[in-house]
């Protein structure tokens, strides 16, 4: 499918997009739009510093490998609340995420973000699609990602195909940390993602959760911050699947294989409850 790209002159405003999201509750179709959005964005030092602090990244000259998601969030919101997008944004479930750092992301002050959707597939609970995001500088693509999203209740023809990440590598615990009760609000302030399921127990209960849960991308970012000494700065692909949500507050442990060009990771909670699994490898 060829993407019909639209270039924006400035980042969209989030308050209006949240208002649109709040009024969209119905599935309106079973096909994805072929349009994508692009926009040049600035890397703001204060916001980047706050993100490092919330996610545990060291202050260095490189963008954290998950930070382009923050730069892209407003564009993603505009794409997923557009009239031609068939699924309501509220209620989408983030099943997995893959990022590829193609070149070192150092000294970056301005970059072009691109977002589109693709690969609609049947799922046992509805349908999945990929939210694709890219980060370009003047030389070309620096970083790219696919987030697999689930919309419950969509009915598509075909047999569901679910990919499970599995590893035979030996894992040992390398870190543990607390996910405090307010981490959802902390992450929302630096990311712009104010999904009610992450903010408080009261707002989470409105969407069927007994308590607030941590953002999946905070779990991944906090994990990659802990793995910083294990991973190269570029030519790396990092894939995770989100399993059981991290309820707030709680404590989690990170298990990983020995440092190397390829490896595996697992984030677990009390009783060895599996929250996230993943692996890293060189970009192919």
pLDDT digits (tens, 9 = 90+) for 161-195: 777 777 778 999 999 999 999 999 999 999 999 99
Judgement on whether residues 138 and 216 belong to the same structural domain of the protein: no
Q: Domain count for the chain, please give it.
A: 2
Widest Cα–Cα separation across the chain: 50
Inter-residue contact 269 to 226 (CB < 8 Å): no
pLDDT digits (tens, 9 = 90+) for 223-234: 999 999 889 999
Judgement on whether residues 118 and 186 belong to the same structural domain of the protein: no
pLDDT at 116: 98
Judgement on whether residues 94 and 63 belong to the same structural domain of the protein: yes
Judgement on whether residues 58 and 193 belong to the same structural domain of the protein: no
Judgement on whether residues 17 and 158 belong to the same structural domain of the protein: yes
Judgement on whether residues 155 and 232 belong to the same structural domain of the protein: no
- Angle (nearest 5°) at CA 142 between 140 and 143: 130
Closest CA to 62 of 50, 73, 72, 48: 48
**In whole angstroms, what is the distance from residue 99 CA to residue 186 CA?**
23
pLDDT digits (tens, 9 = 90+) for 250-278: 999 999 997 678 999 999 999 999 999 99
Q: Transcribe 5-19 into DSSP letters.
A: EEEESSPPPHHHHHH
Inter-residue contact 176 to 257 (CB < 8 Å): no
The CA-based dihedral angle spanning residues 126, 128, 129, 135, taken in that order and rounded to the nearest 10 degrees: 140
Judgement on whether residues 134 and 155 belong to the same structural domain of the protein: yes
Give the tokens for residue 117. 């959707």
pLDDT at 216: 97
Judgement on whether residues 76 and 181 belong to the same structural domain of the protein: no
**In whole angstroms, what is the distance from residue 190 CA to residue 57 CA?**
13
Final residue in a domain of this structure, among 163, 186, 201 = 163
For residue 169, give its domain range.
165-284
pLDDT digits (tens, 9 = 90+) for 136-158: 999 999 999 999 999 999 999 88
Residue 96: pLDDT above 90? yes
Final residue in a domain of this structure, among 145, 163, 181 = 163
Which CATH number does the domain housing residue 261 bear?
3.10.129.10
Final residue in a domain of this structure, among 144, 163, 182 = 163
Give the tokens for residue 250. 């709680």
Closest CA to 77 of 195, 205, 218: 195
Judgement on whether residues 116 and 208 belong to the same structural domain of the protein: no
pLDDT at 261: 85
Secondary structure percentages of the chain, helix, strand, coil, to 5: 25, 35, 40
Q: pTM of this prediction?
A: 0.95
Give the tokens for residue 119. 């690969």
Judgement on whether residues 169 and 125 belong to the same structural domain of the protein: no
Beta bridge partners of 253: 176, 268
Beta bridge partners of 254: 175, 267
Which uninterrupted H or E stretch holds 205? helix 201-205
Judgement on whether residues 83 and 181 belong to the same structural domain of the protein: no
Judgement on whether residues 158 and 170 belong to the same structural domain of the protein: no
In this structure, the chain runs to a length of 284
């Amino acid at each position: 499918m060829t993407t019909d790209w639209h270039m924006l002159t400035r980042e969209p405003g989030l308050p209006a997009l949240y208002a649109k999201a709040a009024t969209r509750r119905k599935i309106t179709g079973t096909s994805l739009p072929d349009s994508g959005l692009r926009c040049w964005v600035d890397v703001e030092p204060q916001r980047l510093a706050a993100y490092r602090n919330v996610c545990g990244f060291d202050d260095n000259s490189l963008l954290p490998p998950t930070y382009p998601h923050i730069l892209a969030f407003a564009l993603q919101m505009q794409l997923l609340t557009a009239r031609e997008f068939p699924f309501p944004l509220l209620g989408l479930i983030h099943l997995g995420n893959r990022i590829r750092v193609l070149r070192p992301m150092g000294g970056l002050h301005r970059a072009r973000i691109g977002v589109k959707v693709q690969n609609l597939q049947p799922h046992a609970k509805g349908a999945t699609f990929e939210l694709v995001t890219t980060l370009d500088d003047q030389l070309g693509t620096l970083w790219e990602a696919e987030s697999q999203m689930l919309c419950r209740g969509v009915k598509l023809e075909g047999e569901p195909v679910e990919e499970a990440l599995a590893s035979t590598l030996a894992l040992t615990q390398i870190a543990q940390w607390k996910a405090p009760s307010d981490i959802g609000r902390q992450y929302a302030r630096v990311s712009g993602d104010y999904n009610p399921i992450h903010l408080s127990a009261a707002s989470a209960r409105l969407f069927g959760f007994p308590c607030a849960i941590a953002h999946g991308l905070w779990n991944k970012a906090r994990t990659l911050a802990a793995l910083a000494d294990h991973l190269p700065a570029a030519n790396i692909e990092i894939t995770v699947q989100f399993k059981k949500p991290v309820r707030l507050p709680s404590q989690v442990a990170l298990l990983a294989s020995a440092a190397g060009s390829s490896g595996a990771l697992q984030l677990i909670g009390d009783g060895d409850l599996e929250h996230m699994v993943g692996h890293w490898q060189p970009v192919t």
